[in-house]
């Protein structure tokens, strides 16, 4: 996965391209920093890109000779919630990616949905409807989620001013999102949410299902690792990113929770290193990950 921990396509595309040329990359274990996994691209079955700004990576996609799945997040928030990139540009990039990887391998993410006085239900209904109109014919699958109370969310509560979701809110989102999507030949789903909204027209789905992975690679994959005591039903992936290294600085993000560390990590990024952040040390233990 490139990457759930940080936006590699937006900020580290040059590094990723250099690693493609080198044939391998290294990933430091976030829980045991002396352990490093070495991944050779010849052992990779599929690339799953996750990004809010795919533009920098597009020019390198033709170098990849493996299946590609894209998850592009397009949210309706302004600079008070996240670093803003032109939504019009993102729309155009999504259309371009749809042509490159195919509409079936592109997932639009409208997530997470959060509610406050500014971003209320009506705001989200209008934004989602507009996105469906603009991407008709380029996107078939939309994934939504609802904001979770991560450490970073708690730290940013004074900016977020979150309101709790009521049952009527879920119902309104479920019915209207389903209808808007259907009008434009799209489906809408959640992934690993307590409220999956299937009773209102959402479909059951996963971010990257075992069925999808099998279809693209002809290989059977294990289920993803346990989250919150439950087994996520996505196919298992290996994330090559690093926590606290994404300049999007989204106030709802789980992977960024120390802004000072973000600045430090980005300064320690070397596009010529095998690691995303920093370099290999003499006492690191490197193991090849198949």
pLDDT digits (tens, 9 = 90+) for 233-256: 778 889 999 999 998 888 888 888
pLDDT number for residue 205: 80
pLDDT digits (tens, 9 = 90+) for 12-25: 999 999 999 999 99
Q: What percent of the chain has pLDDT over 70?
A: 97
Tell me if 197 sits within 8 A of 173, measured CB to CB: yes
Single pTM value for the model: 0.92
Cα separation, 265 vs 246, in Å, equals: 9
pLDDT at residue 133 greater than cutoff 90: yes
Cα separation, 95 vs 141, in Å, equals: 13
CATH of domain 8-288: 3.80.30
pLDDT digits (tens, 9 = 90+) for 151-198: 788 888 888 999 999 999 999 999 999 999 999 999 999 987 888 899
């Amino acid at each position: 996965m490139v990457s759930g921990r940080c936006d590699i396509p937006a900020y580290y595309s040059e590094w990723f391209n250099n690693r493609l040329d080198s044939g391998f990359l290294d990933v430091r274990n976030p829980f045991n920093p002396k352990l490093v996994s070495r991944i050779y691209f010849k052992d990779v079955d599929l690339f799953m890109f996750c990004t809010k700004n795919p533009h920098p990576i597009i020019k390198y996609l033709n170098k990849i000779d493996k299946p590609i799945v894209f998850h592009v997040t397009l949210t309706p928030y302004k600079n008070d919630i996240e670093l803003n990139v032109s939504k019009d540009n993102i729309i155009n990039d999504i259309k371009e990616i749809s042509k490159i990887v195919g509409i079936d391998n592109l997932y639009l993410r409208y997530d997470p949905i959060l509610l406050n006085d500014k971003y209320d239900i009506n705001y989200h209904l209008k934004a989602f409807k507009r996105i469906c109109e603009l991407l008709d014919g380029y996107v078939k699958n939309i994934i939504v989620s609802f904001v979770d109370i991560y450490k970073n969310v708690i730290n940013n509560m004074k900016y977020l001013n979150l309101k709790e979701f009521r049952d009527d809110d879920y119902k309104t989102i479920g019915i209207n999102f389903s209808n808007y999507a259907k009008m434009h030949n799209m489906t809408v789903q959640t992934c690993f949410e307590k409220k999956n909204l299937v009773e209102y027209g959402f479909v059951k789905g996963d971010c990257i299902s075992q069925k999808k992975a099998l279809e693209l690679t002809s290989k059977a994959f294990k289920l993803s690792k346990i989250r919150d005591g439950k087994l996520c039903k996505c196919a298992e992936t290996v994330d090559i990113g690093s926590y606290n290294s994404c300049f999007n600085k989204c106030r709802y993000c789980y992977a960024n929770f120390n802004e000072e560390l973000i600045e430090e990590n980005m300064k320690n990024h070397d596009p010529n290193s095998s690691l995303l952040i920093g370099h290999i040390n003499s006492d690191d233990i490197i193991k090849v990950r198949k």
